[in-house]
Amino acid sequence: MKEKVEAALNKIRPMLIADGGNAELVEVSNDGIVKLKLTGACGHCPMSQMTLKMGIEKLLKEEIPEVKSVEAV
């Protein structure tokens, strides 16, 4: 499933990079929890939780039904 998550993240990365940030995949657990490290501008942006939940998590859940949630580490 890690490869599927990376492929889906690659679809949203251009938007993150355009804003000076990125998302680094840390872990994908067996129970569908994806752990990401937001880097660059995304790492300290006050809107990072919204980006994580309404952007990244939404996309991953649509593309990979096994994903249950996305967490920042």
From first to last of its 73 residues, what are the pLDDT tens digits of the chain?
Answer: 999 999 999 999 999 999 999 999 999 999 999 999 999 998 888 889 999 999 999 999 999 999 999 999 9
DSSP-assigned letter for residue 32 = S
pLDDT of residue 18: 94
pLDDT of residue 24: 95
Contact indicator for 28, 8 with CB cutoff of 8 Å: no
Going along the chain from its start, the domains and CATH numbers come out as 2-64 (3.30.300.130)
pLDDT of residue 45: 86
Q: Sheet of 33-40: strands edge to edge?
A: 21-28, 33-40, 69-72
Q: Is 60 helix (H, G, I), strand (E, B) or coil?
A: helix
pLDDT of residue 32: 96
CA neighbor of 23 nearest in space, from 11, 31, 32, 33: 11
